[in-house]
Structures are given as C-alpha cells and as structure tokens.
C-alpha cells in the first residue's frame, strides 16, 4: 500500500496598506492543520493591531472538512472581537457549497453576521403570523 503525504495548508501573507491584511490559503484545511491555521491567523492579526480588514483568499483551497469550517468560524469570532472585518475572497465551488449547506455563508461573509446574501430566503418572522 502506498501512502501519499497529507497536503498541508499553507498561507502567504501580504500587508496591504496599514489597515488591510491579505492571507492566501493553499492546500487542505482540515482536522490535521485547522488548529495551527487558527493560531497562525490570530498571531498575524495580533501583530497588526491597526488592521481593520482581513482578506482570506480561498482560490487555492483544495479541500475543507468540518474542522476547517470550524477554523473559519473561530477566525470570524476572533476578527469580530478585534473589530476586524473578515472577507472570504475567491471562494471555490466546494467551499461555497459547504457554507450554504451548513448555513454559515451569511455569518462568514456578512459584515456583522446578519447580512442576508443575494438569493437567501428571508429571515423567519418572530411570533405568530
């Protein structure tokens, strides 16, 4: 039996101006590297307290599992507590599908987690109709 090495997620960081941090994600984001990815992104944000926008370029994301999704959710929470807007740019079809299936698309891509995306069903009304 031949095994292949696990394709690690890698990131490339580019500071764009003083207020924007751009991180390009490549490879897999899964149970083997999700925790390290969260620590890495949190450290980069902590090193840039003037940042107001974090742009994660997802074009190079080959695979994401439930732990990878959890990592994105943790990054979103961390970004929100530090008043940084998270942007998931260049989302591949498999990521877009996962976000829609899990109901996390609006939370991860909306400015405050409440924005309804185009084509999303209306939010349920409170109380009886």
| Domains present along the chain, CATH in parentheses | 10-109 (3.30.750.24)
Q: Is 128 helix (H, G, I), strand (E, B) or coil?
A: coil
Band of residue 128 on the pLDDT scale cut at 50, 70, 90 = very low
pLDDT at 126: 41
> Alpha-carbon distance 51 to 129, whole Å?
44
Closest CA to 54 of 17, 77, 23: 23
pLDDT in tens, 54-105: 999 999 999 999 999 999 999 999 999 999 999 999 999 999 999 999 999 9
Over residues 9-33, mean pLDDT: 82
For Cα atoms 63, 69, 74, give the angle at the middle one, nearest 5 degrees.
140
pTM of model > 0.85 = no
Indicate if the pLDDT at residue 125 is higher than 70. Answer: no
Please return the burial class of 53, using the count of CB atoms within 10 Å of its CB with bins 0-12, 13-18 and 19+.
Answer: middle
Closest CA to 36 of 67, 14, 5: 67
């Amino acid at each position: 039996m031949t095994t292949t090495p696990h394709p690690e997620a890698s990131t490339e960081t580019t500071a764009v101006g003083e207020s924007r941090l751009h991180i390009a994600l490549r490879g897999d984001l899964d149970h083997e590297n999700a925790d390290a990815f969260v620590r890495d992104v949190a450290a980069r944000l902590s090193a840039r307290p003037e940042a107001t926008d974090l742009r994660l370029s997802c074009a190079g994301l080959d695979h994401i599992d439930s732990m990878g999704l959890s990592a994105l959710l943790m990054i979103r929470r961390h970004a929100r507590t530090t008043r940084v807007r998270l942007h998931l740019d260049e989302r591949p079809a498999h990521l877009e599908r996962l976000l829609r299936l899990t109901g996390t698309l609006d939370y991860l891509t909306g400015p405050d987690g409440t924005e309804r995306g185009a084509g999303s069903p209306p939010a349920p009304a409170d109380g009886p109709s």
